[in-house]
């Protein structure tokens, strides 16, 4: 029986474990905090649960236009204690569900901090030590295959170290007793944009410190512009091209000092300036596992590291930091290690979503990567012309579809809309399976529905192709 040792119980680790036991391996997962990982306990699940409450509040506030009346509509608020309790309860319950599922499938789970401990390089099997809370070796294991799935932690900006009270990392916010009076969010990547949008929806004045010309530098520029516009129209402030140098506690709150001399004051600062991979103390160098300059473990498309028998998956590899990608990398590692037929990961088919208001969902080829004269046709349909959107008073957003001019094959898309995370699937399916704009055009969409704009975009693309032929 192949012995598999998995370090880290997040999506990369636990999904890998499920595949490996299914294939008859002897599987052990070592996790220092809780099964489900940061994804379930502190990052993805809690933030989306908070955004669900904040979004509900905005829906109530915005409902007057739909004819709802009530004296409290405009002043509806969140009960922070109840919201936080719900968030933490949901995270713990989900962690317990996954823990129970792993155990019921026969996966052994060890609580502790693990590290590689191969004494010489080139051995067929690898050794792993488990440390207890005092750092003493509590257990030693041997694995024919080891998967490193240790995730990433928030990056700390020197001079702006979180104190858990006023200067916060995104993992601290669920312990606040009161809503911030004025939140300064430092960093406008996906994490910063989501929290800035969420807190604003929850009724908190927010200033977003964005080191770039536009928030969400990695996203479609049109989509980022819509989110930025909506954020500002709802009263959010953006300190453009502002790079925080340090954050100082003041008598009443915080002072965020920018490198260009500007100062942003608020009651709390939320630091969202990226992540660092969890590789410290894993003994990677001694074992011959290569890392990049940024510290991510180098892997190929079937999750192999530079050492035979040692695989890595998830945020620790820096490949698209998404729970879905982490899980797929973990599964691919196990299929490969256990001799199953496996296709290398295809990053061009990864669907991703930014949970702002409105949401931004993307898949496949994006405009920024297109070279001039590329064999690609783009269509963009504004949400405002969609009948269902009008019924719900949804004005901000669009659907964008990219297809190869020569073959009509759909190669990418963007959806900016409330619930874009649900609407992207038909486009993701088209990109994954090589479907054409014609295939989308001939698919029945519900009338009226937002997804009707996706089939409409398919029809428009067919029209464009005809004009060119």
Ligand X SMILES: Cc1cc2nc3c(=O)[nH]c(=O)nc-3n(C[C@H](O)[C@H](O)[C@H](O)COP(=O)(O)OP(=O)(O)OC[C@H]3O[C@@H](n4cnc5c(N)ncnc54)[C@H](O)[C@@H]3O)c2cc1C
Comparing CB distances to ligand NAD, the nearer of 51 and 307 is 51
Neighbours of 22 (CB within 10 A): 15
Contact 77, 57 (CB under 8 A): yes
Any contact of residue 10 with ligand X (CB under 6 A)? yes
Any contact of residue 151 with ligand NAD (CB under 6 A)? no
CA–CA gap between residue 361 and residue 374 (Å, rounded)? 23
Cis peptide before 448 (omega within 30 of 0): yes
Q: Select from 151, 192, 314, 413 the one that contacts ligand NAD (CB under 6 A).
A: 192
Comparing CB distances to ligand X, the nearer of 84 and 191 is 191
When CB distances to ligand NAD are compared, the closest residue is 189
Does the annotation place 122 within a ligand binding site? no
Comparing CB distances to ligand X, the nearer of 108 and 370 is 108
Q: Which of 269, 1, 50, 2 is nearest to 147 (CA)?
A: 2
Comparing CB distances to ligand X, the nearer of 355 and 402 is 355
Using DSSP bridges, classify how beta strands 268-271 and 183-186 pair: parallel, antiparallel or unpaired: parallel
Cis peptide before 397 (omega within 30 of 0): no
Does the annotation place 77 within a ligand binding site? no
Q: Select from 50, 170, 174, 199 the one that contacts ligand X (CB under 6 A).
A: 170
Comparing CB distances to ligand X, the nearer of 311 and 386 is 311
Comparing CB distances to ligand NAD, the nearer of 180 and 189 is 189
Any contact of residue 362 with ligand NAD (CB under 6 A)? no
CA–CA gap between residue 450 and residue 417 (Å, rounded)? 9
Q: How far apart are the first and last CA of the chain?
A: 59
Q: Select from 354, 430, 441, 457 the one that contacts ligand NAD (CB under 6 A).
A: 354
At 127, list the tokens. Answer: 């050794």
CA–CA gap between residue 340 and residue 332 (Å, rounded)? 9
Any contact of residue 19 with ligand X (CB under 6 A)? no
Q: Select from 12, 186, 254, 378 the one that contacts ligand NAD (CB under 6 A).
A: 186
Contact partner at residue 192 from ligand NAD, ligand X, none, CB < 5 to 8 Å by partner kind: ligand NAD
Q: Indicate the SS3 state at residue 442.
A: coil
Strands (E), 259-354: 263-266, 268-271, 275-277, 310-312, 351-354
Any contact of residue 243 with ligand NAD (CB under 6 A)? yes
Using DSSP bridges, classify how beta strands 113-116 and 126-131 pair: parallel, antiparallel or unpaired: antiparallel
Does the annotation place 188 within a ligand binding site? yes
Residue numbers 257-296 binding ligand NAD by CB under 6 A: 272-275
- Choices 87-95, 280-288, 349-357, 448-456; region in contact with ligand NAD by CB under 6 A: 349-357
- The partner residues of 47 in beta bridges, in order of sequence, read none
Any contact of residue 157 with ligand NAD (CB under 6 A)? yes
Contact footprint for ligand NAD (CB under 6 A): 157, 186-192, 194, 209, 211-212, 217, 243-244, 272-275, 321-322, 352-355
């Amino acid at each position: 029986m192949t012995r598999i040792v998995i370090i880290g119980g997040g999506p990369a680790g636990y999904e890998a474990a499920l595949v490996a036991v299914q294939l008859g391996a002897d599987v052990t997962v070592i996790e220092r905090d809780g099964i489900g990982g940061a994804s379930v306990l502190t990052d993805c699940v809690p933030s989306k649960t908070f955004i669900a409450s904040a979004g509900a509040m905005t829906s109530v506030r915005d409902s007057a236009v739909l004819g709802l009346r009530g004296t409290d509509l405009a002043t509806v608020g969140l009960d922070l204690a109840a919201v936080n309790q719900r968030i933490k309860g949901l995270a713990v319950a989900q962690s317990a569900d996954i823990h129970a599922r792993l155990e019921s499938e026969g996966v052994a789970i060890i609580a502790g901090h693990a590290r590689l401990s191969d004494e010489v390089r080139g051995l067929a099997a690898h050794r792993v030590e488990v440390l207890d809370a005092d750092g003493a070796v509590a257990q030693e294991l041997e694995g024919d295959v080891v998967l490193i799935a240790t995730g990433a932690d928030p990056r700390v900006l020197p001079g702006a170290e979180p104190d858990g009270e006023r200067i916060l990392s995104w993992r601290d916010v669920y312990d606040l007793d009161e809503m911030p009076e004025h939140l300064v969010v430092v960093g406008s990547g996906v994490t910063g944009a989501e929290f800035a949008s969420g807190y604003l929806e929850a009724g908190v004045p927010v200033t977003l410190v964005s080191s770039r010309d536009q928030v969400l530098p990695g996203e479609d520029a049109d989509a980022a512009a819509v989110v930025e516009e909506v954020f500002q129209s709802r009263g959010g402030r953006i300190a453009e091209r502002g790079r925080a140098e340090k954050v100082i506690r003041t008598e009443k709150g915080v002072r965020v000092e920018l490198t260009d001399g500007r100062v942003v004051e608020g009651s709390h600062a939320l630091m969202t300036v990226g992540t660092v991979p969890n590789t410290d103390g894993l003994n990677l160098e001694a074992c011959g596992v290569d890392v990049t300059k940024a510290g991510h473990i180098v892997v190929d498309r079937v999750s192999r590291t530079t050492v035979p028998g040692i695989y890595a998956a998830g945020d620790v590899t820096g490949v698209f930091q998404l729970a879905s990608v982490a899980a797929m990398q973990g599964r691919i590692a196990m299929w490969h290690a256990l001799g199953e037929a496996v296709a290398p990961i295809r990053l061009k088919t990864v669907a991703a979503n930014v949970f702002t208001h409105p949401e931004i969902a993307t898949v496949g080829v994006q405009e920024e990567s297109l070279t001039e004269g590329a064999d690609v046709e783009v269509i963009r349909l504004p949400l405002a012309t969609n009948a269902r959107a009008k019924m719900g008073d949804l004005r901000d957003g669009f659907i964008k579809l990219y297809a190869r001019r020569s073959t009509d094959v759909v190669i990418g898309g963007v959806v900016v809309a409330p619930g874009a995370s649900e609407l992207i699937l038909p486009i993701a399916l088209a990109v994954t399976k090589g479907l054409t704009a014609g295939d989308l055009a001939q698919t029945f969409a519900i009338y009226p529905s937002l997804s009707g704009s996706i089939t409409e975009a398919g029809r428009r693309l067919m029209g464009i192709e005809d004009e060119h032929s």
